[in-house]
Every structure is written in C-alpha cells, then in structure tokens.
Structure 1
Amino acid sequence: MTQKRKLRCAIYTRKSTEEGLDMAFNSLDAQREACAAYALSQKSEGWSVLPALYDDGGFSGGSMERPALARLLADVQAGRIDIVIVYKVDRLTRSLNDFARIVDVFDAAGASFVSVTQQFNTTTSMGRLTLNVLLSFAQFEREVIAERVRDKIAQSKAKGMWMGGTVPLGYDVIDRKLVPNAEAATVVHIYQRYLELPSVMALMEELEAQGIRTKSHVSADGSKRGGIPFVRGPLYHLLSNPIYIGKVKHRGLLHQGQHEPIIDQPLWDAVQAKRSQAIGDRRMRGNSQHASLLTGMIRDHVDRPMSPSHAIKNKRRYRYYVSSMAAVADGQRMAEAALRLPAADLEQAVIEATAALLSDQQIILDRPQVDARAMTSRMNAVGRLSNMLAHQEKGKVRQALLDLGLALIVYPDHIDASISRQKLAAMVDDSSTEQQDDGWRIPLVIATSPDRRGRNLKLVLGSPPSQQPRVNPELIALLRRAEAARQRLLQHAEPNTLIDREDERLARLAFLSPDIVAAILDGRQPSSLTPRRLLKQVNLPLHWNEQKAALGF
C-alpha cells in the first residue's frame, strides 16, 4: 500500500476589531481550535498542522494590508504550505478582487484552500463559483456596514457631536464630549504669537525654545504618543482647526459643535487671513526657476520627509533633496545617515520615467474598453498628459504629479517610485468623480547607483552601468536542489507511484538553458532574478531563448 504524502496545513485567523483580544480565550483561539480539529479529522489523508501562527487581530477583511496574511502568502509562494485552512471564507477576505488575487497565488504554488464551516475546494470550477457567490455577498455586507457607519458619522457631526479621533491640544474628552482644559491658554498663546511673528518657522522655533510641546496621550496599547516639539505640519493643522472656534468639520462643511470654543472669532479670522496670504505668496513663488518639483512626494527609507535644500559654490546654485532630521521624533531614525539627492537630476528622471510609463499602450489597454471612441479619447488624454510633462511650466507639472499620486521612497542603494493606478485611470478617463484610492500602485523605473561614499545617491539617467558579478549562493543552492529532485523523480518513475509535489516543482529548474546556469554560477544574472521569482516560474518555456526572455536575461 502506497503511503499518503504528508500535507502541510497552515491555519489563518482574523478578527476585525481588537475588542476581546486580551482575553485568555478569544475569537482567534476559537477559530484556530475549530480549524485544528478539522485538520485532525483529516489525519488519515496526511494532513499535518504547521506550528506557525497566522493571526490578524484588529484588521479588516476589506484590505490586503495585514501582516499575518502577508507572511502566509509569502510562505505559500515559497512552497512551505500545501493547504490553507480558515474557519469561514470571509476570515480570509471580504473583497472579491482580493480573493481572486489570493487564489492566483495559491494556484501558482499548487496550494489548496479549505473553509471548515463551508466545505469548499478551490481546485474545482464549481467550488470557485460557489466561493465567488459567497464572497459577493460578503463584500456587499461589508459595504453596507461601511455605508451605515459613514451615515452615522455624518449625522452625528451635523449635530455637532465629537466622533472620536486624536484629541486636540486644549481639550479633554469627558463623557464623549470635548471639554477645555488648562492647555487652552497655550492654544490662545500660539494663535496670538503667530500674528506677531513673521512666519510659522519663527513660531516653531519660539515654541521649542519655550518648551511647548504637542499634546501627549496614551493609546489603547499603553504606548505614549505626542509630547514632542511642534513641526510645521502639526502647527499648520492647529492654526486651521475649526474645533477651536466651536465648529465640527465634515466633508468640507462646518457644523456648530456641542463643545465650548477656545478661540474667539476675530482672532480666528485674523489668523486665517494671514495664512491665506502666506499660501498665496508661496504659490506665486511656486513657478520660480528654483522651485522644488517633488516637495511632499518624497521620503527616505525610514519615513523621513526629504526637504529641498541648496548650496552655492562659485556663484552657482546647486539644489538637493535632503532627509529632514527636524521632523524625526525617535532616536532610531535620527541615527540613520541623512540621504541627499541632486534635485534637478531627480526631477528630470521622474518626469522621464512618468512619460515612459504613459507611452506604454498597455496602460490604456488594461482599462475596461467601452467602444472605439472611448479608446481614442483615452489615447488622446495620455498624449496630452505626456506632452504637458515635457513642455509645461514646473507648477503645472507638479500639480499633474500630485494628481497622479506620485510617491518616491529613497533607499541608500535605490529608489522606489510609483503612481496611483486609480488616479491615473481617473485622469485618462477624464473622470471628475472623486473615488477612493484602491491602493494599487504602478511602479516607475528610475535607475540609480550608490556613490563611492556609500551615503548619497548618484542618479543614472538611461541604462544602468555594467554591474560587477554578484554570485547568489541561494540561487546556486536552488539549482543543486533542482538537479537532486530530477534524479529522485527518475529513480521513482514507476507506474502508480505518488510524485512529491515539491520535487515536481523543483525538477523544472533542472532544464534551464546552459547559458542561464553559467550566468548564475558566475554571478552575471539580472538583479531581478531571485530564488523566489525562479520558483514562481510555473510555465517555464522549454526553448532556451524564451527562457532567457522570461527570466530577464
């Protein structure tokens, strides 16, 4: 009798809120216990539960941004999991689109998905249909709940009620209502000094010298937040928060609040008039020769904003983007070396990368096609956008990049740049309807290389320079495992013999082109070729030239 193959099972649990998670036996424990009992009932089929825990407590099923789910998908892709068990399918996700993406990951890795209380199997077409129907209802339920919550918040704010969030400086929350406290005098002082000083920067420096800090509070997990020196963002927010004149803001509308104001109307009006004038002056300067195009869109790898800076040498002005140390509160990020990039080179690289992305017609073809006229309209819109990036003044280019949701993250050895797919679609389709960003990003390609000092970045506009050989021991070990798997399959190539699924996946890599194998051994493979990517090549071509193209050679 042939022994059944051992199937490695991972249990995934999720709870939308953090309520009750501190109990000795909570909802996550109940889900895991039910899943473990089901796996035990399948022990005769070779099921075995892995010890790793994949628990997402306090995370919504409407988003893929969950740490345990990310670890689960990574382990599935790495071939460490054969079956994923959940208590109900909506524990995995409540979004139909996210579910399709998750199932694609499972299928690519040859993994199965089981719902304990609903008995579904994603390997059959009927199972997929039933799951899609169920998830449609789950997504509908989530959207209805979200609409009810939004309606309740809107109605409550229209009545002037405080609906939670960060408690502003100058108030305490008593019986779910804002009540002025001793900090109210500090708020009045800040408003008055803003009128007397030339700028917000001068006010910020004075408040730091006087030891005036942001409001401190203790979060639900016991960590202390706030109580740090004011920087521009929080200071601007304090000076424009209508809470201080007894108002509650919701979707651009002001409602009379149920709390007592701290700032009187004349002082508020004077501060807003000065702010409006300062904003107008900055906008007038926005199209100047030395305006910084990417301000507010660029951060470094430890989440510090990179601010414009400049130096003058031999009467020539050199602009840079530099990691802002003033905006960093914790010591760990302060300890990281500041990064500095030449502004003109980076701005040109971003414009060229965005224009190159827009020239790719696949960006348009990925959008749903209505008719030929709509397709022509999209083509024209992309053409106008590309032309504007190349020829318009800097102020309009900056606004276009903001509309595209441009985001840059600078690392010591590379730059991650991307735009919002949803915002690009809105611009291409000329949609004026405000839509929530779905979180999907389209990457931009910006070639970089570290300079000799290893702290700054030197931009390479065009194809990157030839790289030194980089031997990857993990890739070489993967090739050895592939050859060993091929040998095992040949030795056990008998009728009615169960084939180990992992050996089957690995053995495919034993038929790589000799040129590809030689390049990996010499360290001449593309930087994008990683062990994970090589394992994910399920349909690897047999033709050697096609293999090179598929793997980026």
Structure 2
Amino acid sequence: MAIALGDCPRHHRNTLVGAALLRNRRMKKLRCAIYTRKSTEEGLDMDFNSLDAQREACEAYVTSQRSEGWTLVPNAYDDGGVSGGTMERPALQRLLCDVRAGKVDVIVVYKVDRLTRALSDFAKIVDVLDAAGASFVSVTQAFNTTTSMGRLTLNVLLSFAQFEREVIAERVRDKVAQSKARGIWMGGVVPLGYDVEDRKLMPNAIEATTVVHIFRYYLDQPSVRALKLALDAQGVRTKIQQGKSGPRGGVPFSRGALYWLLSNPIYIGKLRHKDKVHEGQHEAIISTDLWDAVQAKLEASTAERANAIIPNGIALLTGMIRDADDRPMSPSFTVKQGRRYHYYVSSISKDIDREVPGKPAAPVARIAARSIETAARDAVRELLLDPARIAGLDDRAGAAVTSARIDTAAELARQVGPHADHGARNLFERLGLTVRVHPRRVAASLSASALIAALEHLPEGADHEPDRIDLVIRTDVQRGKRGTKLVIAGLEPVGRKPDPRLVNLIAKAHRARSNLFGDQASPRDRHIERLARLAYLAPDITHAILDGNQPAALTSRRLLKLPALPLAWPDQRRLLGFT
C-alpha cells in the first residue's frame, strides 16, 4: 500500500527520506583511480617525492567524498620522468585500458596538466571517458565538465598548460644553443675517440688512435666506399655504447657513419650546432692540417657525385647499387639509332677488381637504368603504403605512435613518385637503400632503424643498425640469341588480367593444329607450323596464360618467335621462365 509522506508524522517522514538518500548513495558507488605524473626524474629517489605529494592530496580528496560513495581502487598509476606532451605513458595507458574495461569510474588528478598538456590529447582522453561513462576530477581546480562553461574553463586551462610546455621547450633549446656557443658538450651519443667524465668529453687514447688512423687512411683511398671495405677487412668497428636496452654498437662502419665521422668538427676541438661551429672546451684529436686535407677531399668527392647525372635526369641509385661480386655499378649509356639507352654497369677498378691467379675475371653486369630505378621506387613506395609492415616495425610502439608513423609513411611515399628525382634520391640515401644485382635476381633492402627515425622526424643517425628490411623487386630471366638477360618485372598489379594477345595466340595455335591434321592447310606454310607447335605447351603453362599469371617477360611476340620449343614440359617451363 502506498503511503504519502504528508500523512506521516515528522519523525517517520525524516526516517523515510534518510532511507531514500542512503539507497541513492549506495547506488552511486564510484571507483576512483589516482593518476600522478612528474616530467623529470629529479628527486624521484627521495623518500617523499612529488608523486607521493600528489597522491596524498588526491587520497585526502577521495576520503572527503566517501559519503558520496567514492572508493579508492588499489592500483597505482604513476608516471615518473615522463612528459605530459605525449600519450605514450605506461601508467596512463594502463589507466585508460582499465577505464575501457569498466574498472574505473573517476580519474582523480592533482592538476589538469598532470593528466595532459595538449588539447589534442585531452580530446582523445575525453572520448575514452565518454564512451565508458566515466569522468575525471582535479582536486585543486574546481569546475564541472558537464556544463558548457565548465568545458570552456577546462580548455582555457589546457591551453595555458600547452603554452607552458612549449615555452619550456623553447627555454631548453635556447639553453642548448647558448651552452654549445660556450663550447659545452650537451650530451647525446658519445663519439668514437672520447669518453664522458663529469659531463665532459675526455679523449680515449685507444679510440683516438683509431680515429686518427681512419682520417689518415682515407687520404690513401679513392673513396669512402673503398675506405669502408678496407676498415672492414682490418676489423675496425664502431664505438660500443651503453643504452637503456643494453650495449649497442661494435659493428662495421657504414658509409654514412664514415661520412659523419670524417666531417664531424668535434675531432678538432669544436662543436657544431645546426649550421654554426663553435670552439669547444674539449681536447682535439685531429690536427688542423689533417682535417683540412680530409675536408678538401670530401668536397671534391661531393662535387663528382653531383656531376654524375644522366642526360635525362639524376642517376638515382649511384652509390647504392652493386653487382653480385660487390662491385659498384655506375651509370652509363649507349646510343642506338639516335636514341640513348641508360644502364648501370659494373665498375672495373684496380683497387677492387684484383685478378686472382687461376681465377677468371668476374663478368661485367649491366641492367637497364629506367627499369631498376622504377622497380626501386615501386618497392619503397609499396613498403611505405603498407600499414601492416609499418606497424610491424616496432611491436612495443603504442597505437598513437603507430598511427602517426603510418601517416608519415604516406607522406614520404610521395617523395618517390615518378618525377620526384631529387626527393627520391635523398630519401633512398636517408633510408640506407642498397640494391644488389645477381645473375638471376635483384636483392634490395633498407635500414629499419633509419626508417623508424624518418617516420618519427628524428635527425639522421650517424650509423645504420644491422637490422634490414628486404624489399620486393620481381625479376625474370629472358633468353635470346645473345644469351640470358635479366628483366625487371616490376610490381605485380592488383587483379592482373590475362594478356588478350597471348590468349588469342593460344586460340590460333589450337586452330592451326586442327587445320594441319584436317588437311586444311598447306604443309609448307611455315606460319601455320609455327603456330601449331604452341598447342603442345604444358597444360599448366596454358592455364597460367589464360589466367594472366605468366611471367612479365613472356609476350606474344616472344612466344611466337621462339626458334625451337622443347617437347619436354620441364624444359618448356625452364625456357619460358616458369621455374
């Protein structure tokens, strides 16, 4: 039976109202998670640090709201030494995962800028909270985000937080510039030849000898490429660095690392900051005379490479393409009937091609420039436009970082377009692209670490790590009157269609065979005989042609002009490039 409150005595009415409020409070159990953050690691080793102070204030606030059904979850979400300008924070990612899983109803922070300092990141966090029906509270900044005025207040606070972060970044950049202008080393990768003592560069006697040897030996070599080969044979390795994930380095020098070492003014007691060079406070390793001689040779080499231009454009793969015997391939051309045909041809050098007694000289490799350059563009572009391969570069990267890398990869893919010669060459060099031409295939790869650095807009590294990403360059071996010829097939188009000329040729072959056996053709008709023999192709070859899966080099003209067609099916497959 329903009872009206107005009909009840006053004390009964108070009892009913209190019971209703108690039921409402019990229904509003809110699980609260405290999130704390500090941008630097300074002071985190103290017994009571900034994270503890933030947590203590937040716990007191949650305790004050216990009558409202607020309870504290036992998990701690602390990010020490992590900037608020990024979403890639371990504790924050765990917290958002728990919010999505329905384990947290309220996020409690000391100040809004502890949660994030970027408006864009805040919008992402709000989307996660709204989807889970959760909210957050700042214990020192009272505002209600359920109203338009509250959201405006929050956006204003976050705008100032983002402004403060950018101002701090400007201060750090200015400090680095001023410190380097005074010759103070500001950290980073320790160069070969030096150790760090009390934040200062001190010469390492053993490594300094290696540096001097590299500078002097370069003057005796024809190029940096030859220097690299000589240093590899001598067992000279890069400096071993101690990183967070363990030691790294101790690998053979790459050409990029040697260029960086030979042009680094740190070895003559100076520091480079962007386009300026300042006197350093550390001791020089290289004499000024030796430095000047090396720089003059590097400049001359750069001028020679700049002049290595094909008449119709830039030789994109100069310095990156080699043959099966590890000889560099240089751009060349021939003229036939007034038309230029460009190639990459093995370089014959006395320093590289030393004849071994009893061993025949290696044959000279040659490949069409346009086809191999187009294949290299397509292979790099295919990699950059493949989100799965970009995401697989680093399994530890978060969703935000992976998404940013995929977007950047799509932008880089535009640099390898068919008319972007300068952009393509610069990108190839930055990614450490290498192309190796073998008699029956082409192998290409690039540096995974260099690709990650390019995707994250990091400065070009001095050394390419040994991890490589293989690229797909499809090839075919075509046999002719002058022997075998390597043909670049290019990337296989999606949804490849049958070649109508080849299909029509197969149909004509079977009609010609029927005409010969039906006495409808002249026995001396060489064209009919040439057609009819194609009716004896292996069944799998015929099916591949009808499906459009034949090798790219197999055309109707080549098939019809074959001087002889073997009767054995394995020989046919070998001749036509199906094996």
TM-score (norm. length: structure 1): 0.53
Q: Distance in 1 between matches of 2:97 and 2:496?
A: 30
- CA 8–398 in structure 1, closer or farther in 2 if over 3 Å, else same: farther
Match of 2:209 in 1: 185
Match of 1:517 in 2: none
| CA deviation after TM superposition for structure 1 residue 401, in Å | 10
Alignment of 1:216-255 (within 5 A): 216-218=240-242, 223-255=246-278
Correspondent of 2:283 among 247, 260, 271: 260
Correspondent of 1:195 among 219, 225, 228: 219
Q: Distance in 2 between matches of 1:9 and 1:242?
A: 55
Correspondence 1:392 to 2:416: no
Contact 1:286 1:395 in 2 (8 A): no
- CA 189–147 in structure 1, closer or farther in 2 if over 3 Å, else same: same
| AA of the residue aligned to 2:77 | Y
Match of 1:133 in 2: 156
Q: Distance in 1 between matches of 2:285 and 2:415?
A: 47
Q: Distance in 1 between matches of 2:140 and 2:158?
A: 14
Contact 1:11 1:84 in 2 (8 A): yes
Q: Secondary structure at the match of 1:81?
A: coil
Match of 2:80 in 1: 57
Match of 2:130 in 1: 107
Q: Distance in 1 between matches of 2:285 and 2:297?
A: 19
Q: Distance in 2 between matches of 1:248 and 1:22?
A: 34
Contact 2:384 2:413 in 1 (8 A): no
- CA 43–390 in structure 1, closer or farther in 2 if over 3 Å, else same: same
Correspondence 1:87 to 2:110: yes
Q: Distance in 1 between matches of 2:84 and 2:382?
A: 38
Correspondence 1:269 to 2:298: no
Q: How many residues align?
A: 359
Q: Distance in 1 between matches of 2:428 and 2:131?
A: 35
Q: Distance in 2 between matches of 1:418 and 1:150?
A: 20
Larger radius of gyration: 2
Please list every run of 5 or more consecutive structure 1 residues that lacks an aligned counterpart in the other structure. Answer: 296-308, 322-341, 355-384, 404-409, 411-415, 424-434, 437-447, 452-457, 466-553
Q: Percent identity?
A: 58
Match of 1:469 in 2: none
| AA of the residue aligned to 1:242 | P
Correspondent of 2:379 among 334, 346, 370: 346
Match of 2:548 in 1: none
Q: Distance in 2 between matches of 1:284 and 1:47?
A: 74
RMSD: 4.9
Correspondence 1:124 to 2:150: no
- CA 153–391 in structure 1, closer or farther in 2 if over 3 Å, else same: closer
Q: Secondary structure at the match of 1:10?
A: strand
Q: Distance in 1 between matches of 2:35 and 2:174?
A: 32
Contact 2:381 2:413 in 1 (8 A): no
| CA deviation after TM superposition for structure 1 residue 286, in Å | 7.6
- CA 459–37 in structure 1, closer or farther in 2 if over 3 Å, else same: farther
Match of 2:183 in 1: 160
Contact 1:112 1:123 in 2 (8 A): no
Contact 2:38 2:51 in 1 (8 A): yes
> Can you list the C-alpha shifts for 1:93-124, whole angstroms capped at 9, x where unaligned?
22233323332332233221111222344333
Q: Distance in 2 between matches of 1:15 and 1:178?
A: 30
- CA 149–462 in structure 1, closer or farther in 2 if over 3 Å, else same: same
- CA 347–260 in structure 1, closer or farther in 2 if over 3 Å, else same: closer
| CA deviation after TM superposition for structure 1 residue 235, in Å | 2.9
Q: Distance in 1 between matches of 2:108 and 2:371?
A: 51
| CA deviation after TM superposition for structure 1 residue 243, in Å | 0.7
Match of 2:553 in 1: none
Alignment of 1:139-538 (within 5 A): 139-182=162-205, 183-218=207-242, 223-283=246-306, 291=316, 343=376, 345-347=378-380, 349=382, 392=419, 394-396=421-423, 461-462=493-494
Q: Secondary structure at the match of 1:61?
A: coil
Q: Which moved more, 1:197-206 or 1:150-159?
A: 197-206
Contact 1:310 1:317 in 2 (8 A): no
Match of 1:381 in 2: none
Q: Secondary structure at the match of 1:238?
A: helix
Q: Distance in 1 between matches of 2:227 and 2:191?
A: 19
Contact 2:183 2:280 in 1 (8 A): yes
Q: Distance in 2 between matches of 1:386 and 1:229?
A: 30
> Can you list the C-alpha shifts for 1:255-313, whole angstroms capped at 9, x where unaligned?
122222211222222222333344445555587798459x9xxxxxxxxxxxxx9999x
- CA 459–93 in structure 1, closer or farther in 2 if over 3 Å, else same: farther
Q: Distance in 1 between matches of 2:119 and 2:256?
A: 37
Contact 1:10 1:83 in 2 (8 A): yes
- CA 397–193 in structure 1, closer or farther in 2 if over 3 Å, else same: closer
| AA of the residue aligned to 2:27 | K
Q: Distance in 1 between matches of 2:452 and 2:241?
A: 35
Q: Distance in 2 between matches of 1:387 and 1:157?
A: 36
TM-score (norm. length: structure 2): 0.51
Q: Distance in 2 between matches of 1:464 and 1:88?
A: 59
Alignment of 1:32-71 (within 5 A): 32-71=55-94
Correspondence 1:14 to 2:37: yes
Q: Distance in 2 between matches of 1:260 and 1:352?
A: 47
- CA 260–291 in structure 1, closer or farther in 2 if over 3 Å, else same: same
Contact 1:59 1:66 in 2 (8 A): yes
| CA deviation after TM superposition for structure 1 residue 176, in Å | 3.9
Q: Distance in 2 between matches of 1:35 and 1:320?
A: 65
- CA 180–70 in structure 1, closer or farther in 2 if over 3 Å, else same: same
Higher relative contact order (CA 8 A, sep 6+): 1
Q: Distance in 2 between matches of 1:158 and 1:402?
A: 31
